[in-house]
Amino acid sequence: MKKNFNEFKEFIVNKNTAVLGIGVSNIPLIRYLVALGAKVSAFDKKEEEELGEVANEFKAIGVTLVLGSDYIENLHGFQVIFKTPSMRIDLPALLKEKAAGAIITSEMEEFVKYCPAKIFGVTGSDGKTTTTTIIYKMLLQEGYRTWVGGNIGTPLFTQIEEINSRDMVVLELSSFQLMTMNVSPEVAVVTNLSPNHLDMHKGMEEYIDSKKNIFRFQNKADTIILNKDNVITKSMASEINSNLLNFSVVEKIESGAYYESGKLYINNKEVCTKNEIKIKGMHNVENFLAAFCAVSKEVSISSMRAVAITFTGVEHRCELVREIKGVTYYNDSIASSPTRTVAGLRSFDIPVILIAGGYDKKIPFEVLAEQGYSKIKVLILMGATKFKIKAAFDEFANKSGNVVPIVIVESLEEAVMKAKKLAVSGDIITLSPACASFDFYPNFEVRGNIYKDLVNSL
């Protein structure tokens, strides 16, 4: 049963509240908490001059700023603490405050708890954003007033009083957001699971366990959608307490969605053919099947089809940039894991010149070598993981005899120039890094936009 937001409004008045991180989602949260009457302190490792005008604004509305590299050491005496999603709950400072009676939460936890609308939550290692966007577009096509948030869109907690019970909300949820959740959305989707974010999680077991929170607190009236082709998600079926729908591209599914003989079905009804879908790759067929399951109670087959045959994809996901002298350039900057890069490579009919490498999330690259080698003409490696990826390909070559030409570069700029020099008419060049961007760039969007600027300036 959803809680009434008036309870939160009454609770937060005059509460000594800390917000950890002055970033994209927390800036509007801080404003909102002040408007609701909380006594807010905003914490961040940045100094005041780095925050710029935001610092002046917050001081003007009575926010106490706690800044600098040692900011967390000043976290004491708070009744409510909103943490940023990527911050671990077991930090000593947080554990100490929790033991002293503080409520530790996040913008997303409070939103899911109090949102009056039906929530569709999407998580997984790959395909989250595309599946979230497809669900959002299908609900819009059917005529619902629909909101999208979580990892994409705008922070929704500050808009919660504008959302009503007849609306629909679609959330992309990361393992970090789910890790401390004790409430689940009414409709939950797990697209797939493979090693990811092992730089932040203590191991694969913790990563998987955090994902399970998307359905762990559901009731019998709720719905969970699982990928039956993925070993990890398939194994979750024994733990659910709600209605299970499966999707598969390899077997016929009686209760759910499947792909057979070039066609996509939901509950044994044909929606469209694979050839009618605008976005390439079997991984996108899977994304559509997951979305069909999610909206099967709310959306007609005709609305599903309308989106399936017109949706051209999300920016930075196998995005066509341009063609120059017969060479086609794609931007797949979203691919921050080896499995995501492999899925992107499978979208193409010929081996490609692949630009990869970046921040080290402590995940293995053997799967990229073993499953991707036949789809790579030349591998151009950059970033903090370049030699780690090279080692995986070298080891695979020693075992199998399958050698992929590898070029090491020092920057994305050098990678693009090297790729252009190596390419001949008919080739495909794609940025699909298999890694996060944080060694060079703040996020994958910035990385993708810089890549597109480089390509468009050739």
The alpha carbon of residue 429 and the mean position of all alpha carbons in its chain are separated, in whole angstroms, by: 24
Whole-number pLDDT of residue 201: 58
**CB distance 173 to 122 below 8 Å:** yes
The rounded distance, in Å, linking the Cα atoms of 190 and 125 is 9
**Residue 136 CA: distances (Å) to CA of 14, 103, 139, 141:** 37, 32, 5, 9
What averages of pLDDT result for each successive group of 10 residues across the chain (458 residues)? 90 97 88 97 93 94 95 94 85 94 93 96 91 97 95 84 97 89 95 72 81 95 97 93 97 96 97 92 93 98 97 82 94 92 90 96 93 97 97 96 97 98 97 94 94 96
Whole-number pLDDT of residue 435: 96
The rounded distance, in Å, linking the Cα atoms of 383 and 376 is 19
The rounded distance, in Å, linking the Cα atoms of 447 and 435 is 11
**CB distance 216 to 121 below 8 Å:** no
Q: Residue 2's CB: how many other CB atoms inside 10 A?
A: 15
Residue with tokens 């807010």: 40
Which of 346, 317, 314 shows the shortest CA–CA distance to 330?
Answer: 317
With 0.85 as the threshold, say if the pTM is over it. Answer: no
Whole-number pLDDT of residue 316: 81
The two three-digit tokens of residue 83, written as one number: 């943490």
Whole-number pLDDT of residue 87: 83
Whole-number pLDDT of residue 1: 64
Whole-number pLDDT of residue 331: 95
Q: Which domains are present in the chain?
A: 12-105 (3.40.50.720), 109-308 (3.40.1190.10), 319-456 (3.90.190.20)
